[in-house]
Structure 1
Amino acid sequence: MKIAWLSDLHLVVPGSDLPRGVDPAHRAQLCLDDIRARHADADRLIITGDLIQLRHTGAYGLLKELLEDMPMPAKLLVGNHDDRAAFFEVFPHMPHELGYVQSSEVVDGHQLIYLDTVADDGKHHGQLDSVRLQWLDKVLSQCDCPALLFMHHPPAMVGIPALDKMRLNVGDQALNEILQRHKHRSIHLFCGHVHRSLSGTWGGFPYAVMTTPHVGFALDMQQHKLLPADEAPGYGVIQSLDNSIVVHTQVSSGFGSSVFVR
Structure 2
Amino acid sequence: MAPTLHHAQADLGEVRLHYVTAGEGPAVLLLHGWPQTWHMWRHVMPGLAARYRVVAPDLRGLGDSSRPAGGYDKKTVAQDAWRLMTEVLGERRFFVAGHDWGGPTAFALAAQHRDAVRRMAIFDVPVPGDGTPVFHLNRWHHGLHREPGLAEELLAGKEEVYLRFFYRSWGARPDAIEEAAQQEYLRAYRQPGAMRAGFEFYRATPQDERDNEGFLARDGKLPMPILCYGGATGRGRGPAALDSWRRVAMDVRGGIAEGCGHWIPEERPDWVLAELLAFFGEEAG
TM-score normalized by the length of structure 1: 0.34
Higher helix share: 2
Higher strand share: 1
TM-score normalized by the length of structure 2: 0.32
